[in-house]
Structure 1
């Protein structure tokens, strides 16, 4: 099964994450099928850059987001778009 999850990047004690689509059995920093964007929790307001079109594509294919990524998608309105498209 494919998962949409975070891959840790950045220096020690200064995390930076990429939002990737990867096989659920792969390692955290394994080779992803696709990169959707990034998330930087260290900065004020935790900026997120996300390709909504790619995210919707992978959700339609059946990729399951983790809890953290699900909250990021919800804040950016992508889950609402996905729910509207399913109706």
Structure 2
């Protein structure tokens, strides 16, 4: 699954977009970091490694709902 992992201090969230097994904890050990999301900038910044996302989608990974919305704004192909 490709989803967000929260980092940053209290009330100062910063997220990593990670590839992780679906049943692991939110900030558990991830397989690979494929991007970042910072909602505190104006506008919010999203940086992704498109080639790695495409690779993991081809291997069967699925986006979480939030990550799906973030990457769809960047025109990354969605999971089929």
Structure 1 length-normalised TM = 0.87
Runs of 4+ in 1 over 4 A off after TM superposition: none
Identify the structure with the greater helix proportion.
Answer: 1
Higher strand share: 1
CA distance in 2, matches of 1:73, 1:4: 11
Structure 1: 5+ residue stretches without partners? none
What is the aligned partner in structure 2 of residue 24 from structure 1? 22
**Cα-Cα RMSD:** 1.3
Q: Deviations over 1:42-78 (max 9, x none)?
A: 1101001100000011111110100100011101111
Q: Secondary structure at the residue paired with 2:20?
A: strand
Q: How many residues align?
A: 80
Matched, 1:49 2:67: no
SS of equivalent residue, structure 2 residue 77 = helix
